[in-house]
């Protein structure tokens, strides 16, 4: 990256801090075991077919699982689940990421029991771009709680949103 690209990347990083996002933990099971990662680069893609878009750094263990076609769960966190986000966002590695939170298995995929929403997906396509993989998840099921109390990430910090 030349100096100009570096300056542009710094400016983009600063600008993206202004983009408030719901915090999720994407979880999956792979031949090496359970993997999970906190993520804000998650969006709906289409309702026909129902699909999601997730972006994962190629260095993350989750990247390997998703590239191999693993089923995965997008756990949309509540404001009370900030410790789970911190733990899965770099505070731990591997199986240790499941030490915090009420985890259960659904169809062999680890899921947070008390997430405000769970979106179950199977990988249905991907591409790599720069340092990241862009994955399409075909939605196979959802569970949604009645409360809308999301955990939000903005300006480099977690925020709770009251319902």
The verdict on residue 1 lying in a domain is no
pLDDT band at 141 (very low <50, low <70, confident <90, very high): very high
**How far is the C-alpha of 3 from the C-alpha of 128, rounded, in Å?**
24
| pLDDT given for residue 155 in this prediction | 87
Q: Over 90: is that where the pLDDT of 38 sits?
A: yes
Confidence (pLDDT) at 156? 87
In this prediction, residue 94 has a pLDDT band, given cuts at 50, 70 and 90, of confident
Q: What is the pLDDT of residue 13?
A: 85
pTM of model > 0.85? yes
Structural domain count of the chain: 1
Q: The domain that contains 84 carries what CATH number? A: 2.30.110.10
Mean pLDDT on 98-112:
94
Is 54 a domain residue? yes
Q: Is the pLDDT of residue 1 over 60?
A: no
Q: Is the pLDDT of residue 52 over 80?
A: yes
Rounded distance between C-alpha atoms, residue 91 and residue 136, angstroms: 27
Place of tokens 């993520």: 39
Structural domain boundaries, residue 59: 21-160
Q: Are 52 and 124 in contact (CB under 8 A)?
A: no
Q: DSSP assignment, residue 34?
A: E
Does a structural domain hold residue 27?
A: yes
Residue 145, both tokens: 């709680």
pLDDT at 11: 87
């Amino acid at each position: 990256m030349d100096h100009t690209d570096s300056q542009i990347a710094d400016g983009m990083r600063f600008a993206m801090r202004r983009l408030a996002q719901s915090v999720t933990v994407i979880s999956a099971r792979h031949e090496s075991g359970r993997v999970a990662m906190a993520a804000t680069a998650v969006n709906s893609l289409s309702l026909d077919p129902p699909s999601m878009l997730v972006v994962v750094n190629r260095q993350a263990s989750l990247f390997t699982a998703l590239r191999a076609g693993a089923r995965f769960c997008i756990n949309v966190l509540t404001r009370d689940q900030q410790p789970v986000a911190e733990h899965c966002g770099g505070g731990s590695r591997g199986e240790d990421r499941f030490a915090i939170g009420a985890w259960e298995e659904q169809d062999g995929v680890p899921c947070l029991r008390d997430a405000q929403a769970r979106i179950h997906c199977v990988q249905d396509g991907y591409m790599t771009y720069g340092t990241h993989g862009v994955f399409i998840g075909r939605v196979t099921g959802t569970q949604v709680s009645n409360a809308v109390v999301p955990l939000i990430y903005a300006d480099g910090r977690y925020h709770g949103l009251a319902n």
